[in-house]
Amino acid sequence: MIGPAILVEAPGLLATVQDRGRPGRAAQGIAPSGALDRGALALANRLLGNTRDAAALEITMGGFSAVLLPSGGPARGGGQPGVAPREADEPREPRGLWIALTGARGDAEIDGRGFGPNQAVLWPFGTRLRIGMAVAGSRFCLGVRGGVDAPIVAGSRSSDVLAGLGRPPLAPGDALAIAAEVAGPIPAAEPVPWGVTRALLEVALAPGPRADWFAPSASAALFGEPWLVSNDANRVGMRLLGPALQRVREGELPSEGMVVGAVQVPPSGLPTVLLADGPVTGGYPVIAVVAAASLDLLAQARPGERLVFRRALP
Amino acid sequence: MSRAGPARLLPMGARAVLVELDGLDEVLELAGALQAARPPGVVDLVPAARTVLVQIDLDRLTLAQARAWIEGVAAGPRSGVGGSGGAAAPARSHLIDVRYDGPDLAALAAALGMTSGELVERHTAAPWRVAFTGFAPGFGYLVSPAWPFDVPRLRAPRTAVPAGSLGLAAEFSGVYPRQTPGGWQLIGTAATRVFDPLAAEPALLAPGDLVRFRAAGA
């Protein structure tokens, strides 16, 4: 392997390579995938001077640790710390990899020294990066200068955990190479507002195609009751716990096209929100669709957390 | 000369419209017509058994513009049910070589009142068309006017159907892109890969494509 490599010791619950995904291929049966918290990915890439197409690690709930191995050959996009304005007297030879941690909040450290989120940080060669358990949010985005490398499948390095496309989820002992998706120097530090943890997540819903399959009481419950994020939540979908949504029509539909954010209601009456790796077609009626602006927020919802739905502005 | 019948436009969030039609023939017709007249800003056109999902990029097309476009195409004259001609862009065609050696071939042929050889002849003589995809990346649901049979799914699905297996279910034929569980009756094995993850276009089959099967030596 040429260039530095990230040697994964512990991936935590689930760690995958994600970029902006593979939109526009649903007609071939291929899901959009990509980072669930797209804002966190975009921020990490901007902090690191990467292109928008650079891939990062999506780390679910934390518990991640890895060691950075130095270059075995000429460094690629990752190891050029000299370009960082805050390190003007940086030696020519790279001595590490610039990284940025965005998305969920939790303790993070390099060889025991803590570092904060939403900033470019140098990860020196030979040291160990640890990300503790998330204390707010559920998905960390670990960006690296140049992006994480992985086979490009249908135009994306993203891992699709349902269809098995892209690099499989990380396992202990995996070594990750660094790509060269660099757009420019690492920008001067910019102020990034920290997310405020809310007691109750508020998620906007737009109308779905099969709202008429449900009783009026279902709409009242959907918008009037708090919903609990169940443990059955992953990149494919998120099952919510609350009052069963009453149908006025029974049975299943012939499968029809689905979108990210579709709120499907199986016969149990408990809704499932489809996420980026969800099936591109499905046979359960969709009562509503999570507004695009709320998807990043929903991606950070934790099992056991409560959320409320409100109507999206038209 | 014909119309697709009433097309019902249903909301699917702020960036998509679900068009509901009476049946698969109408879906094939409308999906083909939409594809032929597809404006920039349409991100995805996803036909299914009774619907066509149209996803748009709001930076290039508004939902109102998309609805007006769909309604205009649905109201317009077209070449006929499932028409492969007309003004639509020429469909891609694929020839798939198959060893007709599937474990369900003999029993299925008997159930349909023919020999295995006759079933293979009917299957290779039929012109197939990709109606829609789904189930797994690269899995196409193929239909043919020359295939009138309604094949039941297995009562107990197999836990592992090998990649490349050619299966039949209901009115459809399909080639499994990779090893998955599956309940279709298996009549053969395709030599042609229908999904290659590392190709620039991994999926061989797209909705509207024409497919012929050719019997290869066992």
Kindly report, residue by residue over B57-82, the tens digit of the pLDDT: 999 999 999 999 999 999 987 544 44
Cβ atoms of residues A25 and A75 within 8 Å: no
Determine, for residues A259 and B133 on separate chains, whether the beta-carbon distance falls below 8 Å: no
Determine, for residues A27 and B20 on separate chains, whether the beta-carbon distance falls below 8 Å: no
Cβ atoms of residues B80 and B32 within 8 Å: no
Are B107 and B136 within one domain?
A: yes
pLDDT digits (tens, 9 = 90+) for B88-111: 566 799 999 999 999 999 999 999
pLDDT at site A76: 45
A21 touching B (Cβ < 8 Å): no
Residues of A within 8 A of B48 (CB-CB) are 254-257, 281
Q: What ipTM is given for this predicted complex? A: 0.89
Domain assignment of residue B194, given as a range: 93-215
Per-residue CA distances from B215 to A49, A61, B185, B188, B210 (Å): 55, 52, 18, 9, 17
Whether B86 maps to a domain, the answer reads no
Q: Which of A9-13, A87-91, A174-178, B162-166 has the lowest mean pLDDT?
A: A87-91
Determine, for residues B138 and A28 on separate chains, whether the beta-carbon distance falls below 8 Å: yes
Are B168 and B118 within one domain?
A: yes
pLDDT digits (tens, 9 = 90+) for A47-70: 999 999 999 999 999 999 999 999
Are B33 and B133 within one domain?
A: no
Q: Reduce the DSSP state of residue B166 to 3 states and report it.
A: strand
CATH architecture of A201-311: Beta Barrel (2.40)
Whether B80 maps to a domain, the answer reads no
Are B45 and B124 within one domain?
A: no
Mutation site, A165, A256, A281, A311, interface B, largest B CB count within 10 A? A256
Are B97 and B68 within one domain?
A: no
DSSP per residue over chain A, as a string? Answer: --S-EEEEEE--SEEEEE-S--TT-GGGT----S-SSHHHHHHHHHHTTB-TT--EEEEES--EEEEEEPPSSS--TT--GGG-GGGTT--SS--EEEEEEEEEE--EEETTEE--SSS-EEEETT-EEEE---SEEEEEEEEETT-B----BTTB---BTTTTBSSPPP-TT-EEEB---B-SSPPPP---PPPPPPSSEEEEEEE-TTGGGB-HHHHHHHHHS-EEEEEEESSSEEEEESSPPPBSS-S-PPPEE--TTEEE--TT---EEE-TTS-SEESS-EEEEE-HHHHHHHHT--TT-EEEEEEPP-
Whether the predicted pLDDT of B86 surpasses 60 = no
Are B71 and B124 within one domain?
A: no
B11 to chain A, closest Cα gap in Å: 5
Whether the predicted pLDDT of A313 surpasses 90 = no
Are B169 and B210 within one domain?
A: yes
Residue of A283 and B12 predicted with greater confidence: B12
Cβ atoms of residues B129 and B213 within 8 Å: no
pTM: 0.89
Are B166 and B192 within one domain?
A: yes
A163 touching B (Cβ < 8 Å): yes
B50 touching A (Cβ < 8 Å): yes
A105 to chain B, closest Cα gap in Å: 30
Are B112 and B209 within one domain?
A: yes
CB-nearest to A261 from B10, B13, B138 is B13
B205 touching A (Cβ < 8 Å): yes
Residue B67 has phi, psi (to 5 degrees) of -65, -40
pLDDT at site A75: 42
A292 touching B (Cβ < 8 Å): yes
Residues of B within 8 A of A254 (CB-CB) are 48-51
Determine, for residues B55 and A165 on separate chains, whether the beta-carbon distance falls below 8 Å: no
B117 to chain A, closest Cα gap in Å: 32
Are B47 and B139 within one domain?
A: no
Whether B82 maps to a domain, the answer reads no
Query: What's the number of domains chain B is made of?
Result: 2
Whether B84 maps to a domain, the answer reads no
Q: What CATH number does residue B209 fall under? A: 2.40.100.10
Whether B122 maps to a domain, the answer reads yes
Whether B42 maps to a domain, the answer reads yes
Whether B32 maps to a domain, the answer reads yes
